[in-house]
Every structure is written in structure tokens, then in C-alpha cells.
């Protein structure tokens, strides 16, 4: 009996020590150690912003595509209108080109076709500079019936020694079936230190 009572007393003491130890560990544990991990919150604002940016880029792409379609349509309409107004069998077109250095600065070109004024074009400094750099300008397009015709071009500008300069050039040509293209060329004639004006047909 004494042995059994001693065993019960030992078990009771061990259980009490274990309870005290558990209580002490629980008291010394860091705050929130047993709390569940925090769940990240979902932000609807960031998702909405990304969606709005995507919709904006899609809309911008649609606008750019629409602009391209409009430009292509305008180009087709312009070509169709020109074909209707100036059929190839009666069309005549006149172009201007320049290859000059120090002898002439272009101000204007006046055209007469069969002794009738058809155009008088005044050039800006930018346009004249573009011609000097190799540009070609279509200055006139119209209709002519088949037969003999005469074109007279009068060039006005600044000549050698900054003097006012006015010169004319003419061309008699035959208009047949099909379009007729004529070029007015302005170039330097270094041997005479004068500008040269030539009217010629495109072959």
C-alpha cells in the first residue's frame, strides 16, 4: 500500500510539473505566433486600370486603322475623279523641274496653251527649294483634242547679279491618242553664265 501510494503521488507531481511547464511556455510564446497567416487582399482598382489601358490601346489601333482606310479611299476617289475629268485619250499634263545653281531663282511660271492662259503659279521659297533639290511638280493638267497645239511657258525670277529675270520658251506638239506629258526644265548654262529654259515632251 505504501508503494502504491508513492507511485500515485509521483504521477501526480509529474502531471503538475508538465502542466506548469506548458503554462509557462504558452505565456512566453511571442504574440500572434499561433495566429493564421494573413491572406492578401484583392484590389479591384489595379485590375480595372489594366483593363482600361487595354481597351485604350485597342481603341487607338482601331482609330489608326480607320484613318488609313479613309486615306486609301480618298486616294482612290481622287484617281477616279481625275480619270473621269481628264480621260487618257484627251489628257495633257505639264511638269516643272529645276537643275540650277547661281544663275536663277524661280518666282513664277505662266502657261499659255494655244494662246490661252491656263495657269499662273507663284512659288514659295520652300517650293522653289524643293525643285532645286530634285523635286518635280505637276503644274497643269487638262484636256486637248487630237491635233497640233502650241505651249508657251514664261518664267519669272531672280537672274544673274540679282536682277529681275523674265524669259519664255515654247513647244509645238502633236496630240494623238493617249495622254501627253510635257516637262519644263530650268538649268544653268555655265558657258554663258545664264539660266536655260527648255520645253520638251516625255517619250
Share of the chain above pLDDT 90, in %: 37
The answer as to whether 82 is a domain residue is: no
Alpha-carbon gap, residue 8 to 10, rounded angstroms:
5
In the predicted structure, residue 77 carries a pLDDT above the cut 50: yes
> Higher model confidence: residue 79 or residue 166?
166
Q: What integer pLDDT is reported at residue 25 of this predicted model?
A: 42
- Average pLDDT of the residues of the chain: 77
Q: Between 67 and 16, where is the model more confident?
A: 67
What's the confidence (pLDDT) of residue 41?
56
Predicted confidence at residue 38, as pLDDT, reads: 55
Whether 17 has a pLDDT exceeding 60, the answer reads no
Residue 104 is predicted with a pLDDT of 87
Mean per-residue pLDDT, 72-80: 71
Q: Is residue 15 part of a domain?
A: no
- Asked whether residue 23 is assigned to any structural domain, the reply reads no
Segments forming the whole domain that contains residue 97 = 91-201
CATH number at residue 135: 2.60.40
Q: Note the helical H segments in 29-148.
A: 44-85, 125-132
Residue 4 lies in a domain: no
Which pLDDT score, from 0 to 100, does residue 45 have? 55
CA distance 198 to 163: 21
> Is residue 195 situated within a structural domain?
yes
Does residue 171 lie within any of the structural domains? Answer: yes
Nearest by Cα to 131 from 168, 160, 157, 93:
157
Does 169 have pLDDT greater than 70?
yes
Residue 71 lies in a domain: no
Dump pLDDT digits (tens) for 118-159. Answer: 999 999 999 999 998 899 999 999 999 999 999 999 999 988
User: For residue 84, what pLDDT is reported?
Assistant: 63
Amino acid at each position: 500500500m505504501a508503494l502504491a501510494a508513492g507511485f500515485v503521488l509521483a504521477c501526480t507531481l509529474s502531471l503538475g510539473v508538465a502542466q506548469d511547464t506548458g503554462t509557462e511556455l504558452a505565456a512566453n510564446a511571442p504574440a500572434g505566433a499561433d495566429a493564421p497567416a494573413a491572406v492578401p487582399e484583392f484590389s479591384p482598382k489595379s485590375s480595372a486600370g489594366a483593363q482600361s489601358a487595354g481597351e485604350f490601346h485597342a481603341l487607338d489601333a482601331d482609330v489608326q486603322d480607320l484613318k488609313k482606310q479613309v486615306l486609301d479611299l480618298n486616294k482612290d476617289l481622287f484617281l477616279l475623279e481625275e480619270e473621269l475629268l481628264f480621260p487618257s485619250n484627251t489628257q495633257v499634263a505639264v511638269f516643272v523641274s529645276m537643275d540650277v545653281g547661281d544663275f536663277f531663282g524661280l518666282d513664277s511660271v505662266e502657261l499659255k496653251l494655244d494662246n490661252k492662259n491656263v495657269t499662273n503659279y507663284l512659288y514659295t521659297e520652300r517650293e522653289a527649294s524643293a525643285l532645286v533639290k530634285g523635286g518635280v511638280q505637276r503644274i497643269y493638267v487638262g484636256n486637248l483634242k487630237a491635233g497640233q497645239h502650241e505651249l508657251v511657258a514664261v518664267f519669272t525670277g531672280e537672274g544673274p547679279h540679282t536682277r529681275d529675270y523674265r524669259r519664255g520658251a515654247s513647244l509645238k506638239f502633236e496630240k494623238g491618242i493617249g495622254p501627253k506629258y510635257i516637262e519644263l526644265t530650268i538649268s544653268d548654262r555655265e558657258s554663258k553664265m545664264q539660266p536655260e529654259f527648255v520645253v520638251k515632251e516625255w517619250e
